[in-house]
Homo-oligomer: A and B are copies of this chain.
């Protein structure tokens, strides 16, 4: 049976403006790889209701699971929860379970409850909360859409809670060989190697090491022994070419 598929929707004016370099894609990608859920697409879109509704409706019919990050805080630009409710055509309001989480946190911190804090208890009808250790403000899952915070530490905490609860598949395992020469020198041999190993995915990733070009050739598959064996053979092939 093939692995479940997933998309990640980053709601991120701050990424599109160049203000912030995304840190959440890699965190989610590694968690999903470990759970055997194949991340097939990432989209970064604006903090815009129509854009969010359109992307969520499209992605949730294409992929088994959809994850979002960003826009669930207390300020005027946090429009994700309302947009998700609109995408699912369900009502949204302050919910008692979310309010209880926030009230607990407010008590712990000795700060007054406010309209802003209560805004974070707005949860679409039918959603299940995603808690986290760092913040009282919960994310939520509705259908196959999982709505999480954008702040990297809170996003990572929510991913750690959520991903193990999802139906998984066969984890992806990988190994690699680093070669200190241009890709062109071994391109033909590598193509032949890839043809001989149709069950493995072979990627060739050049990078600059100081002023020299080097290449990491990565072997990915679903069987540890098979990947390790291929990496060992590949090291011989690449260094002989």
A binding-site residues for B, Cβ under 8 Å = 10, 13-23, 25-26, 28-30, 32-33, 39-47, 73-78, 111, 114-117, 119-120, 151, 153, 172, 174, 182-188, 190-191, 194, 201-208, 218, 220
Closest to A45 in B: B41
Would you call B16 and A39 a contact (CB within 8 A)?
yes
Would you call B29 and A73 a contact (CB within 8 A)?
no
Would you call B151 and A206 a contact (CB within 8 A)?
yes
Tell me whether A26 and B30 are in contact in the complex, defined as CB-CB below 8 angstroms, given that A74-B184, A151-B206 are known contacts: no
What is the distance, in angstroms, from A195's C-beta to the closest C-beta of chain B? 8
Closest to A117 in B: B184
CA A29 – CA B20 in complex, angstroms? 10
Name A114's contact: one of B15, B47, B75, B185 (CB within 8 Å): B185
Contacts of A40 in B (CB 8 A): 16, 45-46
Would you call B22 and A22 a contact (CB within 8 A)?
yes
Closest to A120 in B: B184
